[in-house]
Amino acid sequence: MENSKRFWYALSLLVLLILTICILKVSECSRRNLERKLLAERQLALRALKKDFSFDILIFTQHWPYTVCAQWMEHHKGNECILPKVRNSWSIHGVWPTKYHEIGPLFCNDTWTFDMKQIADIENDMKEKWINIEKGTPLDGLWKHEWEKHGTCAAQQIPNMNTENKYFSKGLEMFNNFSITKLLQETYIKPGIDATYKLDEIHTAINRTIGNNFAIICEKDHQTKQQLLFEIRMCFDKEFKFHSCEGIVVKDEVLLGHTKDEIITNCKKDVEILYPSSSWVAKKEWLMKIKEHMPQEKSWLYQVENVYKLVKLLQWATL
**Residue ranges binding ligand NAG (CB under 6 A):** 109, 111-112, 156, 173-174, 177, 207, 211-212, 240, 261
- Smallest distance, ligand NAG to C-beta of residue 179, A: 11
150 a catalytic residue: yes
- Smallest distance, ligand NAG to C-beta of residue 53, A: 8
Q: Which of 93, 164, 219, 231 is catalytic?
A: 93
219 a catalytic residue: no
Based on CB atoms, which residue is closest to ligand NAG, 213 or 226? 213
Beta strands in the chain (DSSP E): 57-63, 91-98, 196-197, 214-220, 227-236, 248-250, 253-255, 264-265, 273-274
Contacts of 249 (CB under 8 A, 6+ apart): 40, 101, 102, 103, 255
Based on CB atoms, which residue is closest to ligand NAG, 137 or 207? 207
- Smallest distance, ligand NAG to C-beta of residue 124, A: 20
Based on CB atoms, which residue is closest to ligand NAG, 76 or 241? 241
Report how many helices (DSSP H) and strands (DSSP E) the chain contains, helices first.
9, 9
Task: Give the span between the Cα atoms of 59 and 236, in whole angstroms.
Answer: 6
93 a catalytic residue: yes
Based on CB atoms, which residue is closest to ligand NAG, 69 or 202? 202
Q: Which of 134, 148, 150, 219 is catalytic?
A: 150
Q: Which of 102, 134, 146, 246 is catalytic?
A: 146
Under a CB-based contact definition with an 8 Å cutoff, are residues 279 and 66 in contact?
A: no
DSSP state of 242: B
Considering Cα of 35, then 41, then 45, then 47, what sign does the dihedral take?
A: positive
- Smallest distance, ligand NAG to C-beta of residue 170, A: 6
Task: Give the span between the Cα atoms of 231 and 220, in whole angstroms.
Answer: 12
- Smallest distance, ligand NAG to C-beta of residue 232, A: 14
How many other CB atoms are there within 10 angstroms of residue 210's CB atom? 15
Under a CB-based contact definition with an 8 Å cutoff, are residues 251 and 266 in contact?
A: yes
Based on CB atoms, which residue is closest to ligand NAG, 30 or 111? 111
Considering Cα of 136, then 139, then 144, then 145, what sign does the dihedral take?
A: positive
Residues with active-site annotation: 93, 146, 150
